[in-house]
Structure 1
Amino acid sequence: MAVSPCLARMGKSVVFVPGGGDQARGMVDLVDMQHEHAFSESDVRLLTTLANAMSVALENARLFDETQRLLKVTEERAAELGAISKVSQALIVESELDSTIQLIGSQMREIFSADIVYLALLQSADESDPLPISIWRIVRTAHLWRRAHQ
């Protein structure tokens, strides 16, 4: 392995060992400022073993973090799908508009931890200017929902 002239001037003995085996993911450097030939072949072999072990440990930690992140994403998606399923099942049973709106609004408040959800039914003569026919305001209170106006 080539030694940088800057690093070679740092000390009388310098050892560079890549970490990660065939796929170098890092490097460990040893410098002895006072002694020439301070590091033996045995030292280099030991340093190589330690650098490879360090590389494996770091890669395992990276993979663990990635697994934890993916698990969290999966759990979030499962919760979202559960909420969608719950609303879908209730909508099949529910036929009254106010109850349906209250159910949808309550689920949205729960999913997004919102204090207030506004739901509006729109009617439009043309697509560019929809007008609200009804607006519901679902709030987090003892009385779970109120219809704002019709």
Structure 2
Amino acid sequence: MLAEPYNRLSPKSVEIWRIMGVISGLFLFVVFAGVITLTVIFHWHLLFSIISFLIITIYFVLFVGILPKMKWKRWRYEIREDEIEIQQGVLVIKRTLVPMIRVQHVDTKQGPLLRKYHLATVSISTAATVHEIPALGLEEAEEIRTYISVKTKVAKEDV
């Protein structure tokens, strides 16, 4: 078996994933706050409120506390002469090899959170799918985009 890729995402990605966990958790909180309110208004069984509170607590512990760090430890990538290897996952680790010859185009993108932390995501498009390397430093993302685009041209010229 090949050695695992050696490049990691920016350590700032952990903070970004935590912020995204809080944002999505707030929507969940609003829903369960409604359930708790209805429990009080209609004198439903207290179990509804307890279950709602437990679900919110478990969600925040997992998606804000534990999973972002685990996700960062597992997320790796490596860009070689003729292929791109991406490894991701927490419980189930997925490794993907993308041949340079299959790459159609490469993009970098930034949302508001990534922009605030001076990060970008590199999107690698093939005919079948889009592969992403998230939360890279801006300069690193630009270097990767340029390198892949040059290698893609060379790979297609050799065919």
TM-score by length of 2: 0.23
Report which structure shows greater RCO (CA 8 Å, sep ≥6): 2
> Normalized per residue, which structure has more helix?
2
